[in-house]
Amino acid sequence: MSIRTNNKIKVEFNTASMSDLVFLLLIFFMLTSTLVSPNAVKLLLPSSNSKTMAKPATVTVYIDDKFNYYFEDKLISIDQLEAGLMDRLAGQTDASVVVRADKTVDIQYLVNVIDAVNNVNEYYGAKNKVILATKPL
């Protein structure tokens, strides 16, 4: 009498662990990509020797080399800038507005942003600051 064994070799590949690994990698890259906040507007910032670091910006205003204003990555006019600042800085007394301007931008465009922030400060009685972003030498 012969004894039969059921030790057949299966030629299948179990992909359950592989799909778990791919899913975990997908979650990892989705989480880390949301933490990165690249500048949406490409600018050549002016250089500076100053090592002063400001607190995190409440609002960021971009001025590109074509003299366009961007309010938090959205293209706007100078008239819309003051209205956007009014909405964003409502109820804040010590916020910071960071201006990231291309190094070829005339000073008048920076003064327009400073005037808009000063108008908001007068309206709310606040002391919001304007900070010019630069790159280190």
User: Which tens digit of pLDDT belongs to each residue from 9-39?
Assistant: 777 777 778 888 899 999 988 888 777 665 5
User: Which tens digit of pLDDT belongs to each residue from 82-99?
Assistant: 999 999 988 888 888 999
Helix (H), strand (E) at residue 129: strand 129-132
Angle, helix 107-124 to helix 78-88, in steps of 10 degrees: 40
Closest CA to 61 of 51, 42, 48, 74: 74
Residue 105 CA to residue 65 CA, distance in Å, equals 6
